[in-house]
A and B are shown apart, each in its own frame.
Chain A
Amino acid sequence: MNEAAERFVRVLIRRPHAYAFGQKYPGAPIPGLLFLDAEGNSIGTIPLTGDETPEEVRKQMDGIGETAAAGKGR
């Protein structure tokens, strides 16, 4: 999990701030992971419903990280 997370600056936001934050970013999953570019634009989300495994979450994080990196290279 940590290797996949290395591509990102990581911020933890808990209740109740998470709800206020969710209003700013409609579709932000609570609980879950929201990914932003450095300008604050949403580039992906991973809802944590309780059904997914850490490995599945890691793969999704890898995908979002690669997309973000490719976007910067344009």
Chain B
Amino acid sequence: MRVLRRFAAALLLLLLAVPVLGQEGLGAETRYPTPEEAGLYCLTQIAGRWNGQLVTGVTEGGAAAGAGLQPGDMLLSLDADPVHSRDDVEDFFAVARKGDAVRVRVKRIETFTVEQLSLIVAQASARAPGGMKWHHAGPGQLDVARERARKEGKAILIGLSGAET
């Protein structure tokens, strides 16, 4: 029963959220690393989730390709937002605007170095109709949200999702 209630709550929050279709904003496919890959890349954890998304494919001519992302890169963060899931990536590009410059940190296994790349958002992610539209995503954008709230004389609404991603 408790599990069902939590599932229903997660569904409601998803209804409030704006679903994002694919990872076209990034221009690359990523997935959650296996425990072996996490060990190989020496990833850190928060609440049992590895900080990283493994880049498995890069769209030719896309934003990630333009920034120099390569398959095998471990995507660590987008601007100030650490990446722990595909949803983190999709949320980031759902609120990004075309032409935004994004600092992308990746770990490269061949050199075992952390590289900072610059990615230009080529297109906003597709959004499904309806649902709540978010202005910002991730803890790294809270300062920007507070500044915006001050300027616009608004309060801040934070949607906290505990759903597995």
Q: Please give the residue numbers on chain A whose beta carbons come within 8 Å of chain B beta carbons, in ascending order.
A: 1-2, 5, 7-22, 28-40, 43, 48-52, 54, 57, 61, 64-65, 68, 72
Contacts and interface: CB of A to CB of B under 8 A. Distances in A.
Interface string B122-165: 00000000011111111101100110111011111111111111
Interface residues of B, number: 54
Interface of B: 4-13, 15-17, 46-49, 82, 84-85, 87-88, 91, 95, 131-139, 141-142, 145-146, 148-150, 152-165
Given A5-B132, A9-B154, A38-B156, A15 B164 contact: yes
Contacts, number: 173
A26 to B, nearest CB: 13
Contacts of B141: 11
A12 to B, nearest CB: 4
